[in-house]
């Protein structure tokens, strides 16, 4: 009968579930490990395995564990907080702010969020698994009030491991949040949200892209009528009008791209778009040093 070398805490080995046990001397001897701390956080084997132990075994059995022990075990790696947009826009009385914060950790460690959130009543959602990236996620959620209008807030976040023997910290992500005043006289009040995602100037053209989200109650015919009537008004951060009002061509998802011919003397350093009373802003990338403030 083939001899099995049991690991601790009931993992599955060759179809047999091992019973809970302390670190076994024969396991240490079989792998050539100097002691049990090569794979555990103490010599009793009561704490969880160090990162990479299970992968080493399940990928290559005992040879994998032997190679793992010879390498002296693997080091813990820091969690990674996914980058977020550096600019967010929210309008008083409209769609609340919702910024997803995704964390990736190679070893699957648990973690906690930390950072700076200066807005009153802002909160983080419960931890959940994002359906798109399949990553642990918490969302910064906030509904501004009239007192927040015309203000810009800076938020920053990082994650730290909080499991046994884990102390590493992730990268820091930072974003600015611009709060716009409530819509006073929306043309048709059909649009729920307006986004300006990119702004780039190159070869004499300002290229803008974003998304228009209509309210759920808007029919296909109403959406088409709104698209034909509504225009995008552009201005610099100082209020200088940029170009003429533009009618946007939207695809089925509401995404749009628009190019505007501008000379180096006309291009703004940042751009603000107004669509049916909803505003969004972006710093224009690749601008000349003479860009308009």
Spatial neighbors of 9 by CB under 8 A, at least 6 apart, are 20
Residue 87, SS3 per DSSP: strand
Residues of the chain with pLDDT under 70: 1-27, 43-48, 51, 55, 59, 70-75, 164-165, 185-188
Which residues span the domain enclosing 55? 12-70
Query: Which pLDDT score is estimated for 172?
Result: 97
Residue 141 is predicted with a pLDDT of 97
Q: Can you tell me the distance from the alpha carbon of 53 to that of 34, in angstroms, rounded to the nearest whole number?
A: 15
Q: Are residues 62 and 26 in the same domain?
A: yes
- The dihedral over CA atoms of 161, 163, 166, 169, expressed in degrees to the nearest 10, equals 0
126 contact partners, CB below 8 Å, separation of at least 6: 138
Within-domain flag for 243: yes
Domain closes at, from 128, 146, 180 = 180
Say yes or no: 66 and 84 in one domain: no
Domain of 257: which CATH number?
Answer: 2.60.40
pLDDT at residue number 21 = 34
Give the 3-state secondary structure of residue 214.
Answer: strand
pLDDT at residue 32, rounded to an integer: 74
| Residues 225, 290: Cα–Cα separation, whole Å | 39
The string over 90-101, giving b where at least 16 C-beta atoms fall within 10 Å of a residue's C-beta and e elsewhere, is bbbebeebebbb
Indicate the pTM of the whole model.
Answer: 0.73
Pair of tokens at residue 213: 């989200």
Q: Pick the last residue of a domain from 70, 88, 107.
A: 70
Closest CA to 258 of 234, 292, 228: 234
Last residue of a domain, one of 161, 180, 199: 180
Give the pLDDT of residue 188. Answer: 57
Tell me: do 61 and 88 sit in the same domain: no
């Amino acid at each position: 009968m083939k001899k099995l070398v049991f690991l601790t805490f009931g993992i599955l080995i060759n179809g047999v579930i091992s019973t809970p046990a302390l670190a076994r001397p024969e396991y240490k001897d079989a792998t050539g490990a100097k002691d049990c701390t090569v794979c555990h956080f103490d010599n009793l084997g009561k704490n969880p395995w160090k990162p990479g132990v299970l992968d080493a075994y399940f990928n290559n059995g005992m040879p994998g564990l032997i190679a793992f022990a010879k390498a002296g075990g693997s080091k813990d790696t820091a969690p990674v907080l996914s980058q977020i947009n550096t600019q967010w826009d929210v309008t008083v009385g409209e769609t609340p702010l919702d910024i997803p914060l995704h964390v990736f950790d190679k070893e699957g460690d648990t973690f906690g969020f930390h950072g700076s959130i200066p807005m009153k009543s802002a909160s983080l959602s419960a931890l959940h698994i994002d359906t798109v990236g399949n990553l642990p996620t918490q969302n910064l959620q906030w509904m501004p009030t009239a007192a927040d209008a015309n203000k810009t807030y800076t938020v920053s976040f990082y994650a730290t491991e909080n499991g046994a023997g884990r102390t590493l910290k992730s990268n820091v992500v930072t974003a600015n949040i611009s709060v716009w005043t409530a819509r006073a006289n929306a043309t048709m009040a059909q649009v729920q949200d307006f986004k300006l995602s990119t702004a780039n100037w190159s070869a004499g053209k300002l290229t803008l892209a974003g998304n228009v989200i209509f309210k759920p109650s808007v029919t296909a015919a109403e959406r088409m009528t709104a698209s034909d009537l509504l225009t995008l008004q552009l201005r610099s951060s100082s209020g200088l009008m940029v170009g003429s009002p533009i009618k946007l061509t939207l695809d089925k998802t509401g995404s749009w791209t628009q190019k505007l011919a501008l000379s180096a003397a006309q291009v703004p350093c940042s751009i603000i778009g107004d669509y049916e009373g909803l505003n969004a802003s972006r710093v224009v990338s690749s601008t000349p040093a003479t860009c308009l403030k």
